[in-house]
Structure 1
Amino acid sequence: MMTNAAVRLLAQYNRWMNERLYAAAEVLGEELRTADRGAFFGSVHGTLDHLVRGDMNWLARFENQPLPDFGPGPLVCPTWEALVALRQQTDNRIDAWAAHVSDEWLAAPFSWYSAMYNQQMNMPAWIAVSHFFNHQTHHRGQVTTLLSQLGMDIGITDLPMMPSLNNNVAPA
């Protein structure tokens, strides 16, 4: 079972990694960032856009709010500036949510309708929260691979090496 302490740690890791990936993607420039690289969501930008969309959907579910209406088009944020701003806002929301989620809520039943699987989903909330953070890590791994293919190394990505946990490691 997941606890509030684990949720807060994973939210902190989420922000640390997003800041590093976005800093690296910024250096790429628009052309390289949006070029289709054959990834599931095409480009670095497309993958980061998918990730912020997923995070916003999960937060809406966790906060018992309607899912966001992203409007027409494949991207939530077609411009880099809009994507950077939405990522920062979303990470702030994740941090605020993580600070207040209770161990009791994490242990309680949680239900939502999955359009992807076309069915009602029911499980303890901590499993859905685990998926939320695993989804982030999965897609950040894809972005890390795309950046590596472009000759960029963002450095260590392991949770135990997060500077706030390990004072022996300088932030990369």
Structure 2
Amino acid sequence: MTNHPAELLKYHAWANQTIIGRIKELPAPALSQEVNSSFPTVAHALSHIYVVDRMWYLVLTGAGMPEAFQATMALNTRILGSIDEYAVMFEELAGQYGDWIQSQDDLEQTILLDNPFAGVRQTRLSEIVLHVVNHGTYHRGNVSTMLRQLGHASAMNDYALFWYQAAASPTA
């Protein structure tokens, strides 16, 4: 039986590396060139995706949401100078998520989520994983739009493409 949350996390890691790989192909200023969009630069968008991924990882590994939010707040304004730095950060965090999900016996178990912005609710671990992936997909779309505004093509990183590439990969 397929572990769909684990597959979604693999997709999320693949999609992040796909868009980062595309940015690596562009002139270095594309990362920090200002655009009129959801974020002032591509680097800001990548930082935001990373910070939210990190915050939710802390929640999944036992931190309360207020504490996880506080622990990652300073990272939200941290803009890295190179796409290679982003690639390393995202790859390390994807590995941590992979280790975490492999250690889970019941992704349908609930935790009490005390969201400082929305209140308290019981939330399944699998729902948090889905949110992390959905959030990343949304903001990779922002990055694609920003790249087009800068005069560059983006890279396809749809879930369906992941299916076919994963099936064709000898390590899948």
TM-score by length of 2: 0.79
Is the Cα contact below 8 Å between 2:9 and 2:129 reproduced in 1? no
- Correspondence for 2:10: 12
Amino acid at match of 2:51: R
SS in 2 for 1:111: strand
Q: Residue 84 in 1 paired to residue 87 in 2?
A: yes
SS in 2 for 1:164: helix
Q: Map residues 63-78 of structure 1 onto 2, 5 A cutoff.
A: 63-65=61-63, 66-67=67-68, 69-70=71-72, 72=74, 74-78=76-80
Is the Cα contact below 8 Å between 2:55 and 2:72 reproduced in 1? no
What is the CA deviation profile of residues 47-97 of structure 1, one whole-angstrom value per residue up to 9, with x for unaligned ones?
A: 000000000000000010352634647523432254332112111112222
Q: Map residues 71-150 of structure 1 onto 2, 5 A cutoff.
A: 72=74, 74-80=76-82, 81-102=84-105, 104=106, 106-117=107-118, 119-150=119-150
Give the whole-Å Cα distance in 2 for the aligned partners of 1:132 and 1:73.
Answer: 17
Give the whole-Å Cα distance in 2 for the aligned partners of 1:11 and 1:47.
Answer: 19
Give the whole-Å Cα distance in 2 for the aligned partners of 1:75 and 1:29.
Answer: 23
RMSD (Å) for aligned C-alpha atoms: 2.6
Amino acid at match of 2:117: M
**Structure with a larger share of its residues in helix:** 2
Q: Map residues 17-56 of structure 1 onto 2, 5 A cutoff.
A: 17-56=15-54
Give % identity. 17
Runs of 4 or more, structure 1, over 6 Å off, are none
TM-score by length of 1: 0.79
Q: Which runs of 5+ in 1 are unaligned?
A: none
Distance 1:109 1:72, change over 3 A: closer
Give the whole-Å Cα distance in 2 for the aligned partners of 1:4 and 1:53.
Answer: 28
Amino acid at match of 2:109: A
Distance 1:74 1:135, change over 3 A: closer
Q: Residue 58 in 1 paired to residue 56 in 2?
A: yes
Q: Which runs of 5+ in 2 are unaligned?
A: none
Give the whole-Å Cα distance in 2 for the aligned partners of 1:137 and 1:130.
Answer: 11
